[in-house]
Structure 1
Amino acid sequence: MARAYPIYEARAKVSEILRRVTAAATVTTFFLASCGSRSSQPTYDAAIQEGKTAAQELINQGASAVAIALVDDKRIIWSQGFGLADRDTGQMPTHSTMFGVGSVSKMFATIAVMKLVDRGVVDLDTPLVTYLPAFRMASSGYENITVRMLLNHSSGFPGTDYRNADIRSPVPGYVDQVLQTLSMSRLKDPPGYMSVYCNDGFTITAALVEAMTGKSYVQLVQDEILTPLGMANTRYPLSAFSAGSYAKAYVNGAAKPQEFVNTLASGAVYSTADDMARIAMMLLGGGRVGTTRILSSASVADMAADQTIGSFDPIHNNSFAFGLGWDSVSQPGLAAVGFDGRAKGGDSNDYGAAIIVSPQAQLGIVVIAALGNGSARAIAIAERVLLRALYENGRIAAFPSPLPPVVPPVAPVPDGLLAAIAGEYAQGSLIVQLQAQPDGSLQASVRSDAGWTQSGPPLKYRDDGWFASDQDPLKAFKVVDADLLGVPTQYFLNRAPAGYGHYLNFGVFAQRVRPRPGNLSAAWQARLSSTWLVVNENPDELAWNGMDPRLRLAAVPNLDGLIAVRPPSDAPAPAAGHIDTRFHIVDASASDTVATMMLIIPQLNGRDLDDLDIVERDGAEWVRFGSYMHQPLASLPVLPRGATDVVTIGPEGYAEWRAVASDVTPVQVTITTTGAWHLYDPAFTSLANGKGSAVTSLPAGSGLAYMTLFGEPGQTIMLTVQ
């Protein structure tokens, strides 16, 4: 649908024609609004066209639906949807079609907490334990975590409790689960020392809000943010949504089940471009939209202060110059043309979103898409539209272009530099090796199951002090020295185009890791050949995405005392011919039963780390990694042909695993249960899954297959192998 206001009466007929044309291309116009006389008001025709072009490009890249809203502090200038909210029915997105906004949900958490600050109920710099006295962690120092640190990513928490976080069913107790997990976790670094992206900090703001108001977090957001702002199409996924109310995500052409992000305060919101535009307008208006005030202007200003100033940060990253809630209070795409900007991106498995506001420009934009982990592309679209609006109205002299790939001159390598920086570096899930080459270049390799594999062409030293390849000269690297809590350390930095591509973004890529004294102990050496299977993953998630349930350990050459952990993963395995580089590095040098997280990297690449604990259980060594528990594969009972097994789910509700032997003829397995089950082949590729009683079979000669059985504590399940 389209709405035209008096100023656009002349355009209304054209808009109607365009609407009919674009509807055939699955584009629906929601709003076109302005006020005053044409001659005295800015024009946005070119910005709107830029947005249409960019959105259609995103559809062509795989998004099933996209919605964009451009605003100033008083009105929605333009809002439009693209693609199909439901490919099966041909339904186009309307102004009420919801999308997941992922971590843009953190803005609601921040606004909720800042409302309590405005009322004097909460102080940002008061320790969290003052408001949540039962809060505990496994290491000292947690009592120094303040409310501010939850909102600026500097709490020192490990990162994210991914169990039950983003799945296909609601988990009402997720916040309590996170608090329980934190009670068993160490701090990654001293509270307030650095800011590194942390979902759990925002997740537990829900507990803070509930403790201080007596209302559930969702109800408070509804009563004090959504209802006053008229955000009638914004919801938390506490239950299944009605058909047609949200934009579906797709994989291999098939619609996915509804996504439930159970983190609530950290990433759960479903909303529309029009509703999220109200948040942008409120923030542009200093906490108010029209006569409705949500926050004080002081709180909005506090949210926009750079919280990373004075913290540990080897190089400033404008994309992660964290405010309170904001990812960036120095949005680099706008800073490149001399304007201020504040940005928040959001990702989930099914959606990507971005919101940017510029008080100086008095413009804001929301971009949301049914495209998994699409926030970077949403940010790029948002930048394009805002830049075009500024240029269209004469506020910048030229519309910027993406940076050209000019190869900078090669320079002589300073004496001793290559020897000083060659070695191993790591980030949250990647291990990198830099090797000096005879010609003075650097070769980067990444660790995989196949060993060290070269990554990209050689990097040559340039006259600006960075290393870059001839093939991709805008992407550059350098190593710097830093004082990390009194210990000299090296960090591997990167520089690359970001957003729309008209500026370079600087960041911390990885931290230098070195061998520990002595060799890996005999206890850890013995575990390197073992495999463990997850027992407390949500069965809905296992059934949907075919997660590889295995946890495995590996030594890392040149890094004695350290272990590379390959945890269970719901990410698709790399395509044939590509290597799998997903490893987490931990320090096993100080204990035979605990391998500790060891990286301290600000910004983004030091997020989501965990300790690995060996837990003695039923005479076997189980593994806890974060909040996931894993049973040793070697401890599984093997059911031969003709066996009947009555399985009882234990008091903790952990899944039960069984191995089933096949031979020269097919094997039939009868499952009698009301719970879920999952069957894997010997390589742990999913063969079948379901809920309730069933009969399934194994091909002849397939070797051992593995079955996981889910149920409530005390539930019995019968397996018969025929």
Structure 2
Amino acid sequence: MHHPFKKIACLLLSALLMLALLAGCASPPVRPQALVPGEYGYLKEHITWLIRKEMSKNNVQGLSIALVDDQQVVWAEGFGYADTAARLPATADTVYRIGSVSKLFTSTAAMQLVEQGRLDLDAPLATYIPDFSLRSRFSNAKPITLRSIMTHHSGIPSDYAKGMWTRQPQPISSLPALIRDEYAAFPPDTFLSYSNLGMSLLGLAVQNVSGQEFAGYMQQALLSPLGMQHSAFSPGIGSAAPAARAYSGSDEKPEPPLRDMPAGGLNASVNDMSRFIRMILAEGEFNGQRIIKPETVREMLRPQNSSVALDQGFRIGLGWMLDGLGGINIKNVGTVAHHSGATLYHRAQLVVLPQVKLGVIVLSNSNSAQGLVNTISTEALKLAVEIKTGRKQPEKKPILTGEFLSADELKAYEGSYATMAGLGTLTAGPGYLKAELMDRSFRLVPRQDKKLQIQYRLLGLFPIDLGELGHYGVSRVNVSGHELLKASDGEQEVVIGEKVTPVALSAAWQQRLGSYRITNLGDDTQFADEISLRLADGLLLIEYTMREFGNARISQVIRPLSDNEAVTVGLWRGMGETIRVLQENGKEQLSFSGYRLEKAP
């Protein structure tokens, strides 16, 4: 399930790897001289052309979209196939796994209970889950609250990976016992660190307070009142129509069951999801029935983290992302509230514009569709805004690049950085910085505004248009002793990396360098393979290959705290998390997120 900032990494990888950008394609439909308010015919033609072009380019099998104007669904359609073998077309009623968009429903259900006085946003989580505890090395830390969970500022680790995707998942009530020996990653309210585990614990609080099993309560409290007839929280999606199959490229894949249903376990169609959008646009009302109060909707869409310095201006509400960096970039419309979703193979994007009362949901059954669902949802809403209000999106003016930073200023950037996509390095060249990340090299060149612009050349010769990514400016900032890289589009900004420096390595950790295997995988889907600890330029790295994500090779910096504990380094999802050294049957093992790692002979 995607962290929203991960979209920037996806943009980078897409720009570097999708060389099909060079290929020609059919021409778009002719735009009329004037767009008529309320007439969405041209939008449907243009977005249909864009969908088909992008599906072909990205080998996406199926996709569905619904566009909402206030309380009217102005367009709902499917493209490609829900099941390619059966030649079953995707429709507006095809059911997909919506991944982390599920968090919006879990957060809404929690807010219903807040309205009823049964939950308190600012009470400690342990009030509602008495057996919840995390170990902590942070003295005087605030308690973990429901608010900090919904804003991803709780410090709860990103995931408890063991048993998360497995053939027969345990219930969410098992989580407190599973995580009792795990450490908090950060003190609450330090910075935004996305957590599926936190949202699953929020779902457990809902379950405990309601006295009903989570999936059943969600059906009663939200899905049924909204008339979402094809939707349900479930560990899996099933195989009966209208459920979509799952694909990697042209290959059908099994979508494994998920333990963490509150974080990513909703199955839904775009027609059903349009009902949720209509409720949000009507400030909590649907078909004359009050689902949540208007003030609750406004609070959920209000930035909650404006005082958190390390967030550097990135805004989040209660469950909702409120900034557009990373592909959802729509100007002059007020609040842009959104959430993306991803399982192993399904992809989702939901965006609402409360001030202009527009919303869109795009779902796909292909793991190559993340960039596509972002693009389609954004382009559809930009056109819808223009049709409804007459407001065009401002043209992006290129910022002049050249020798706008001195050699010393460029050299100050040099070093290693813990980023959302793993370890990256910056090296100063003549008038530019050479950046290396995930086995790719590109350049950062100075701009007139003193920021750095990303440039990439195919084979080192041919410049590639990076689209949205090419408009971001990268700069340095020091916050509370953290030397950070941040990306900005001129209005919004987000931290993308933290500078890391070597530390002395004890003999115990030096002896642990080498390859590792997971000893307690069981029936879990194996995400990480070819796991190793190695030393590079004085940095201790844990490296692994993500088999289900394009065989991406990830390098994370870890910092030993003692001979028996180390933490992943950086200010990001999955960072600040603890690796413990244990003894099992006379053998040393590393314990991380529930998995046991044993050094290969």
CA contact (8 A) 1:620 1:632 kept: no
> Aligned with 1:200: secondary structure?
helix
Q: Aligned letter for 1:628?
A: Y
CA contact (8 A) 2:61 2:80 kept: yes
1:264 aligns to 2:261 (yes or no): yes
CA contact (8 A) 1:188 1:597 kept: no
1:554 aligns to 2:534 (yes or no): yes
Output the CA distance in 1 between the equivalents of 2:183 and 2:521.
22
> Root-mean-square deviation (CA), in Å?
2.8
Output the CA distance in 2 between the equivalents of 1:412 and 1:282.
49
CA contact (8 A) 1:548 1:569 kept: yes
The superposition leaves residues 237-271 of structure 1 with CA deviations (integer Å, 9 ceiling, x where unpaired) of 34662432311122353322244233101011110
Pair 1:434–1:258, CA change in 2 (3 A):
closer
1:493 aligns to 2:486 (yes or no): yes
Q: Which residue pairs with 2:15 in the alignment?
A: none
Pair 1:627–1:51, CA change in 2 (3 A):
same
CA contact (8 A) 1:50 1:388 kept: no
1:59 aligns to 2:55 (yes or no): yes
CA contact (8 A) 1:165 1:261 kept: yes
Output the CA distance in 1 between the equivalents of 2:528 and 2:337.
38
CA contact (8 A) 1:128 1:143 kept: no
Output the CA distance in 1 between the equivalents of 2:328 and 2:421.
28
1:245 aligns to 2:242 (yes or no): yes
Output the CA distance in 1 between the equivalents of 2:534 and 2:451.
32
Output the CA distance in 1 between the equivalents of 2:354 and 2:318.
16
Output the CA distance in 2 between the equivalents of 1:573 and 1:384.
26
Among 366, 373, 382, the residue aligned to 2:377: 382
The superposition leaves residues 479-519 of structure 1 with CA deviations (integer Å, 9 ceiling, x where unpaired) of 423233xxx221112346xxxxxx88632111011122xx3
1:566 aligns to 2:515 (yes or no): no
CA contact (8 A) 1:101 1:268 kept: yes
CA contact (8 A) 1:159 1:609 kept: no
1:274 aligns to 2:271 (yes or no): yes
Shift of 1:101: 0.7
Output the CA distance in 2 between the equivalents of 1:232 and 1:221.
13
> Aligned with 1:148: secondary structure?
helix
> What is the 5 A alignment of 1:584-663?
584-588=556-560, 590-599=561-570, 601=571, 605-607=572-574, 610-634=577-601
> What is the 5 A alignment of 1:264-303?
264-303=261-300
1:509 aligns to 2:496 (yes or no): yes
The superposition leaves residues 325-384 of structure 1 with CA deviations (integer Å, 9 ceiling, x where unpaired) of 112266885651344321111112111111111222122111111122634431221121
Structure 1 gaps of 5+ residues are 1-39, 497-502, 575-579, 635-722
> Aligned with 1:57: secondary structure?
helix
> Aligned with 1:421: secondary structure?
coil
Output the CA distance in 2 between the equivalents of 1:514 and 1:477.
24
Shift of 1:393: 3.7
TM-score, normalised to structure 1's length? 0.71
Among 442, 453, 458, the residue aligned to 1:456: 442
Output the CA distance in 2 between the equivalents of 1:99 and 1:370.
7
Q: Which residue pairs with 2:555 in the alignment?
A: 583
Q: Which moved more, 1:94-103 or 1:234-243?
A: 234-243
> Aligned with 2:554: secondary structure?
coil
TM-score, normalised to structure 2's length? 0.85
CA contact (8 A) 2:235 2:261 kept: no
Shift of 1:291: 1.2
Output the CA distance in 1 between the equivalents of 2:427 and 2:64.
46
Output the CA distance in 2 between the equivalents of 1:249 and 1:105.
18
Output the CA distance in 1 between the equivalents of 2:550 and 2:323.
36
Q: Which residue pairs with 1:526 in the alignment?
A: 511
Output the CA distance in 2 between the equivalents of 1:481 and 1:188.
23
Output the CA distance in 2 between the equivalents of 1:338 and 1:328.
12
Pair 1:309–1:338, CA change in 2 (3 A):
same
Q: Which moved more, 1:563-572 or 1:423-432?
A: 563-572
Q: Which moved more, 1:48-57 or 1:620-629?
A: 48-57
Q: Which residue pairs with 2:7 in the alignment?
A: none
Output the CA distance in 1 between the equivalents of 2:425 and 2:329.
35
> Aligned with 2:360: secondary structure?
strand
Q: Which residue pairs with 1:214 in the alignment?
A: 211
Q: Aligned letter for 2:500?
A: V
1:537 aligns to 2:521 (yes or no): yes
Shift of 1:158: 2.1
Shift of 1:390: 2.3
The superposition leaves residues 37-66 of structure 1 with CA deviations (integer Å, 9 ceiling, x where unpaired) of xxx972211222233223223321222111
Output the CA distance in 2 between the equivalents of 1:586 and 1:428.
14
CA contact (8 A) 1:427 1:606 kept: no
Q: Percent identity?
A: 23
Q: Which residue pairs with 1:408 in the alignment?
A: 400
1:132 aligns to 2:129 (yes or no): yes
Pair 1:373–1:207, CA change in 2 (3 A):
farther
1:418 aligns to 2:410 (yes or no): yes
Q: Aligned letter for 1:325?
A: G
Q: Aligned letter for 2:525?
A: E
Q: Which residue pairs with 2:317 in the alignment?
A: 323
1:305 aligns to 2:297 (yes or no): no
Q: Which moved more, 1:620-629 or 1:68-77?
A: 68-77
Q: Which moved more, 1:88-97 or 1:369-378?
A: 369-378
Shift of 1:572: 5.4
Pair 1:51–1:165, CA change in 2 (3 A):
farther
Pair 1:477–1:536, CA change in 2 (3 A):
farther
1:154 aligns to 2:153 (yes or no): yes
1:355 aligns to 2:332 (yes or no): no
Output the CA distance in 2 between the equivalents of 1:48 and 1:525.
60
> Aligned with 1:82: secondary structure?
strand
Q: Aligned letter for 1:386?
A: L
> Aligned with 1:366: secondary structure?
strand
Q: Which residue pairs with 2:436 in the alignment?
A: 445
Q: Aligned letter for 1:570?
A: R
Among 390, 395, 399, the residue aligned to 2:390: 395
Q: Which of structures 1 and 2 has the bigger CA Rg? A: 1
1:183 aligns to 2:163 (yes or no): no
Pair 1:198–1:510, CA change in 2 (3 A):
same
Pair 1:394–1:522, CA change in 2 (3 A):
closer
The superposition leaves residues 58-90 of structure 1 with CA deviations (integer Å, 9 ceiling, x where unpaired) of 321222111111113323222111111111111
Among 224, 231, 236, the residue aligned to 2:233: 236
Among 436, 452, 458, the residue aligned to 1:467: 452
Among 178, 197, 200, the residue aligned to 1:200: 197
> Aligned with 1:527: secondary structure?
coil
Output the CA distance in 2 between the equivalents of 1:467 and 1:621.
45
Q: Which residue pairs with 1:87 in the alignment?
A: 84
CA contact (8 A) 1:330 1:340 kept: no
Q: Which moved more, 1:105-114 or 1:48-57?
A: 48-57
> What is the aligned length?
552
Shift of 1:407: 6.3
> Aligned with 1:381: secondary structure?
helix
The superposition leaves residues 414-458 of structure 1 with CA deviations (integer Å, 9 ceiling, x where unpaired) of 474234332221125511222223x24322234x7xxxx67113x
Shift of 1:275: 0.4
> Aligned with 2:275: secondary structure?
helix
Output the CA distance in 2 between the equivalents of 1:482 and 1:490.
5
Q: Aligned letter for 2:555?
A: F
